[in-house]
């Protein structure tokens, strides 16, 4: 198998209540790098090891939460094909094109809304700015990491966990139209066909996006960023405590995906995660199943029970 | 710095909160029981909503997704963004009805109908 079609999460657009405290959080505490602003007062940021211009977009709004999530596909031809497939499937609503340049340094995007109410988009092009590691020009004789990193400084935006009602429809759209596979699922033991959580991947990662069934539309649980080791998760937690950033839970381990994690909140109450580890996924890996009665260890392996905030706190 | 007395109607509990501190932080600092649900602590998730029934206060920006203009006008505000300017009397509002309430995993239920039946006030039952 070669990695084709939808390659990876490309960006997440997050609404914040006040821009300045948000920027202090995302730049100084989380440690993303600002790469641009536009005339709509959107601020564009990226993690240090990402080559594309941005992966996080912030805008000030009256409501916290996620505006949309973008997926990079392998070519303009794939973008056209998948747009047509999405239209034909009848599974998505509010479909349409956004012109190249509407989002800074980004080519045309095809936007749609999933059955769980989440706005998603596909794009094939974003300008490269590089990771700053090359010693003799970009990507030539690179150092392993660049100088001047701040805060937690994860390597990349990795995935989102989202809450919505029509989980079956969204899983169908991602698997049958967009080519994702389910790596892990949570089902009710009484009715194993009733899925309450789906962890979906388009790559070798244990998940690129996850959805949990909740009686809401378009809600945002967290955006996650990747760290290289458990020790870095511990150090991230030290940074969160030192900066008096509200930690939700952790550092601990997820049963699902086996990732080592800490959850925390941005100054508008949007949840962030930094994590390390997990496993390499291949499309022939059998689906891992968790029952609702073991949801505790599935989510937080050490405590073996959910904290009160996991299901009730989202934006 | 002026300290004000905050009274929770349901339980009669009283705690102190100065003008620079928010009511949720003061409550979680001083009360052992979780009388007010603690969520994001940053005005985004809405689980700490209370109704101020007496007293003067100021608030900082709260997400309109969880605290609408009419709610705010009726005295419903998020405790994490609530700063007293006099003694306050507050009621805890069961804002978790908008989501399934997270219980201990052993008693956890995903049934959707729970969302209209729950009138949780954040206390362990």
The residue assigned the tokens 């955006």 is: A223
pLDDT at B93: 85
Does A312 lie at the interface with B, CB-CB under 8 angstroms? Answer: yes
Confidence at B2, pLDDT banded by 50, 70, 90: confident
Sign of the dihedral defined by the CA atoms of residues B110, B113, B116, B118, in that order? negative
Q: Looking at CA atoms only, how far is residue B23 from chain A in angstroms?
A: 16
pLDDT at A7: 98
Strand pairing of A33-37 and A43-46? antiparallel
- Determine the Cα–Cα distance for residues A173 and A182; give it in Å rounded to an integer: 12
> Is A128 an active-site residue?
no
Q: Name the residue among B41, B62, B96 with its Cβ closest to that of A312.
A: B96
CA distances from A15 to A61, A199, A294, B66 (A): 6, 24, 33, 14
Q: Does residue A1 carry a pLDDT above 70?
A: no
Confidence at A101, pLDDT banded by 50, 70, 90: very high
**pLDDT for A146-187, tens place per residue?**
999 999 999 999 999 999 999 999 999 999 999 999 999 999
Sign of the dihedral defined by the CA atoms of residues B84, B85, B91, B97, in that order? negative
Q: Looking at CA atoms only, how far is residue A238 from chain B in angstroms?
A: 19
Does A18 lie at the interface with B, CB-CB under 8 angstroms? Answer: yes
* Interchain pair B42, A266: CB under 8 A: yes
> Is A222 an active-site residue?
yes
pLDDT at A293: 92
- Determine the Cα–Cα distance for residues B119 and B96; give it in Å rounded to an integer: 8
| Bond into A251 cis (ω within 30) | yes
**pLDDT for B85-122, tens place per residue?**
999 999 988 654 333 333 333 333 444 333 333 333 33
Chain B positions touching A65 (Cβ under 8 A) are 44, 63, 65
Q: Which of A53, A54, A222, A281 is catalytic?
A: A222
Which residues of B, range 61-80, sit inside 8 Å of A by Cβ? 61-65
Q: Which of A11, A207, A221, A281 is catalytic?
A: A207
Structure tokens at B63: 């997400």
Span A236-248, average pLDDT: 97
Confidence at A56, pLDDT banded by 50, 70, 90: very high
pLDDT at A2: 79
Q: Does residue A29 carry a pLDDT above 60?
A: yes
Per the prediction, chain B carries an average pLDDT of: 78
CA torsion, ordered A149, A8, A166, A283, to nearest 10 deg: -120
Q: Say which residues have a Cβ less than 8 Å from residue A84's Cβ, sequence separation at least 6.
A: none
The rounded percent of chain A whose pLDDT value lies above 90 is: 97
Residue A289 buriedness (CB in 10 A; 0-12 / 13-18 / 19+): middle
pLDDT at B111: 42
- Determine the Cα–Cα distance for residues A163 and A212; give it in Å rounded to an integer: 5
- Determine the Cα–Cα distance for residues B36 and A143; give it in Å rounded to an integer: 50
Q: Looking at CA atoms only, how far is residue B88 from chain A in angstroms?
A: 25
Span A95-115, average pLDDT: 98
Does A307 lie at the interface with B, CB-CB under 8 angstroms? Answer: yes
CA distances from B22 to A17, A232, B17, B29, B100 (A): 17, 32, 7, 11, 26
- Determine the Cα–Cα distance for residues A204 and A257; give it in Å rounded to an integer: 12
Q: Is A81 helix (H, G, I), strand (E, B) or coil?
A: helix
pLDDT at B97: 35
Q: Name the residue among A64, A304, A311 with its Cβ closest to that of B99.
A: A311
Which residues of B, range 82-121, sit inside 8 Å of A by Cβ? 96, 98-102, 104-106, 108, 110, 112, 115
Chain A positions touching B37 (Cβ under 8 A) are 308, 312
Buried b vs exposed e over B62-95: b needs ≥16 C-beta within 10 Å?
Answer: bbebbbeeebeeebbbbbbbbbbeebbebbbbbb
- Determine the Cα–Cα distance for residues B6 and A304; give it in Å rounded to an integer: 35
CA distances from B71 to B51, B63, B68, B84, B95 (A): 9, 12, 5, 18, 11
**pLDDT for A115-134, tens place per residue?**
999 999 999 999 999 999 99
Span A251-273, average pLDDT: 97
pLDDT at B37: 85
Span B63-84, average pLDDT: 96
**pLDDT for B22-62, tens place per residue?**
999 999 888 876 667 889 999 999 999 999 999 999 999 99
pLDDT at B33: 65
pTM assigned to the model:
0.92
Complete DSSP assignment for B23-36? HHHHHHHH-SS--S
Does A306 lie at the interface with B, CB-CB under 8 angstroms? Answer: yes
pLDDT at B69: 95
């Amino acid at each position: 198998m070669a990695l084709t079609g939808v390659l990876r999460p490309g960006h997440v657009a997050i609404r914040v209540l006040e821009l300045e405290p948000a920027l202090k959080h995302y730049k100084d505490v989380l440690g993303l790098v600002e790469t641009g602003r536009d005339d709509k007062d959107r601020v564009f940021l990226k993690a240090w090891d990402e080559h594309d211009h941005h992966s996080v977009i912030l805008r000030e709004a009256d409501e916290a939460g996620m505006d949309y999530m973008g997926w990079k596909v392998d070519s303009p031809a794939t973008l056209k094909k998948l747009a047509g497939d999405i239209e034909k499937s009848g599974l998505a609503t509010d479909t349409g094109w956004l012109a190249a340049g509407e989002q800074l340094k980004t080519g045309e995007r095809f936007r749609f809304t999933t059955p769980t109410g989440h706005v998603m988009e596909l794009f094939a092009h974003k300008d490269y700015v590089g990771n700053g590691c090359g010693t003799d020009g970009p990507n030539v004789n690179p150092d392993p990491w660049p100088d001047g990193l701040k805060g937690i400084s994860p390597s990349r935006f990795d995935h989102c966990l989202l809450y919505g009602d029509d989980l079956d429809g969204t899983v169908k759209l991602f698997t049958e139209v967009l080519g994702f596979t389910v790596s892990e699922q949570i089902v009710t033991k009484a009715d194993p066909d009733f899925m309450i959580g789906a962890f979906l991947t388009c790559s070798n990662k244990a998940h690129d996006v996850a959805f949990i069934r909740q009686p809401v539309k378009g809600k945002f649980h967290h955006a996650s960023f990747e760290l290289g080791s458990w020790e870095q998760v511990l150090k991230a937690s030290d940074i969160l405590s030192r900066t008096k950033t509200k930690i939700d839970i952790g550092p601990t381990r997820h049963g699902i995906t086996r990732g080592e994690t800490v959850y925390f909140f941005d100054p508008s109450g949007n949840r962030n995660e930094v994590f390390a580890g997990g496993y390499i996924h291949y499309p022939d890996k059998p689906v891992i199943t968790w029952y609702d009665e073991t949801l505790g260890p599935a989510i937080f392996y050490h405590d073996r029970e959910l904290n009160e905030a996991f299901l009730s706190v989202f934006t | 710095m002026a300290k004000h007395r905050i009274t929770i109607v349901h339980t009669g509990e009283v705690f102190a909160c100065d003008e620079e501190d928010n009511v949720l932080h003061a409550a979680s600092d001083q009360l052992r029981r979780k009388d007010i649900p603690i969520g994001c602590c940053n005005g985004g998730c809405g689980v700490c909503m209370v109704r101020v029934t007496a007293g003067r206060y100021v608030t900082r920006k709260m997400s309109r997704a969880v605290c609408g203009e009419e709610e705010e006008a009726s005295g419903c505000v998020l405790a994490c963004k609530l700063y007293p300017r006099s003694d306050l009397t507050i009621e805890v509002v069961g804002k978790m009805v908008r989501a399934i309430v997270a219980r201990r995993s052993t008693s956890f239920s995903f049934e959707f109908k729970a969302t209209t039946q729950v009138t949780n006030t954040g206390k362990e039952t």
